[in-house]
Amino acid sequence: MNSIKISAPAKVNLFLKVLNRRKDGYHNIITLFERISLADEIEISKIPHGIRFKSDKPITADPKDNLAYKAAESILKYAKAGKGVQVKLKKNIPIAAGLGGGSSDAASTLMGINKLYNLKLGQGVLIKLAKKLGADVPFFILDKPFAIARGIGDRLKVVNSDLVLWHLIVCTGSKISTARIYGMFDASSKCLTGCASDDKISRSLRQKLDFNTVESMLYNDLKEAAVASAPVTGTILERLAYTTGRRAMMSGSGPSVFCLNRSRKEALKAKRKLLTGLPAGNKNGWQVFITKTYN
């Protein structure tokens, strides 16, 4: 096998509570991740040495700054493979949208190279490498649809469920810096150095994970800061909730927002309601997706 193709699925945060700011500048959180079917496509090929990286969309000015490149560099160095790879990336997940695209690309690159070169590195080793690349990267190594994450997002517990959710996701294209959103949250919050964990997620997960339970627990501590930074995010949240009759929530630090649906048919209907009568100019730069839980 000289090459391998692998999907890199996106994620949404169904619940996101910021607990406190750490001394290292990061934040401790508790979140419920869900892996979804919107995915980037990665092709990894063997080359004699070095790393070549290509993307169909510009992501970083220097390819070496891309997380997928860093992942390739990390695993080849760790395994002392003495070989090289070419990584070709086709981006379908919006960039810097709160959907974890870069993190998923990194995780998929780790897993792909491990398989391509038959390195036989266990999941524990891959998660260890993933933690050094970014807070969300370890979740994608789990290769499971649902997980609770604590710490900076790297302490994980799989939630076993065969639940399939459908989502209507809207990304406006607004550029929102994660660091800026957390900074705005800190400035407006009393929860800077320590606070009690919100156990809503724990209470909910004692029940069977079903549609009503998940929809009732939708929450994101960073929503107000993101709306203040990009008011269109708030506008879409309100319109999405009003036109669909569903709760609407933001994923990660935004700007992507979503609502849950029970079926693809219901999600398509929600999409039509959302977009009907909306002036074309208001939708400039929008990307609208219908996705489902990626099992």
What tens-digit pLDDT sequence spans the chain (295 residues)? Answer: 899 999 999 999 999 999 988 888 889 999 999 999 999 999 999 999 999 999 999 898 899 999 999 999 999 999 998 899 999 999 999 999 999 999 999 999 999 999 999 999 999 999 999 999 999 999 999 999 999 999 998 899 999 999 999 999 999 888 888 889 999 998 886 554 444 455 666 666 666 789 999 999 999 999 999 999 999 999 999 999 999 999 999 999 999 999 999 999 999 999 999 988 776 666 778 899 999 999 9
CATH number of the domain enclosing 82: 3.30.230.10
Which of 138, 158, 178 is the last residue before a domain boundary?
158
Q: What is the pLDDT of residue 168?
A: 98
> How many CB atoms are closer than 10 A to CB 208?
8
The number of distinct structural domains making up the chain is: 2
**Residues 114 and 182 both lie in one domain:** no
> How many CB atoms are closer than 10 A to CB 162?
9
> What is d(CA 173, CA 284) in angstroms, rounded to the nearest whole number?
9
Which of 158, 174, 204 is the last residue before a domain boundary?
158
**Residues 150 and 211 both lie in one domain:** no
Q: What is the pLDDT of residue 206?
A: 66
Amino acid at 44: I
> What is d(CA 291, CA 254) in angstroms, rounded to the nearest whole number?
17
Q: Does the annotation mark 200 as catalytic?
A: no
> What is d(CA 18, CA 187) in angstroms, rounded to the nearest whole number?
13
**Residues 125 and 177 both lie in one domain:** no
Q: Does the annotation mark 11 as catalytic?
A: yes
**Residues 142 and 64 both lie in one domain:** yes
Catalytic one of 11, 70, 91, 223: 11
pTM for this one? Answer: 0.94
Q: What is the pLDDT of residue 173?
A: 85
Q: What is the pLDDT of residue 204?
A: 67
- Compute the CA torsion angle 250, 256, 260, 263 (nearest 10 deg): -170
CATH number of the domain enclosing 173: 3.30.70.890
Residue range(s) defining the domain that contains residue 84:
3-158
Tell me the three state secondary structure of residue 59: coil
**Tokens representing residue 141 in the block:** 């190594």
Q: What is the pLDDT of residue 99?
A: 97
**Residues 242 and 224 both lie in one domain:** yes
Catalytic one of 40, 105, 136, 154: 136
**Residues 195 and 285 both lie in one domain:** yes
> What is d(CA 23, CA 227) in angstroms, rounded to the nearest whole number?
27
Which of 111, 136, 158 is the last residue before a domain boundary?
158
- CA 85 centroid distance within chain: 25
**Residues 110 and 182 both lie in one domain:** no
**Residues 222 and 192 both lie in one domain:** yes
Q: What is the pLDDT of residue 84?
A: 97
Q: What is the pLDDT of residue 193?
A: 45
> What is d(CA 193, CA 8) in angstroms, rounded to the nearest whole number?
35
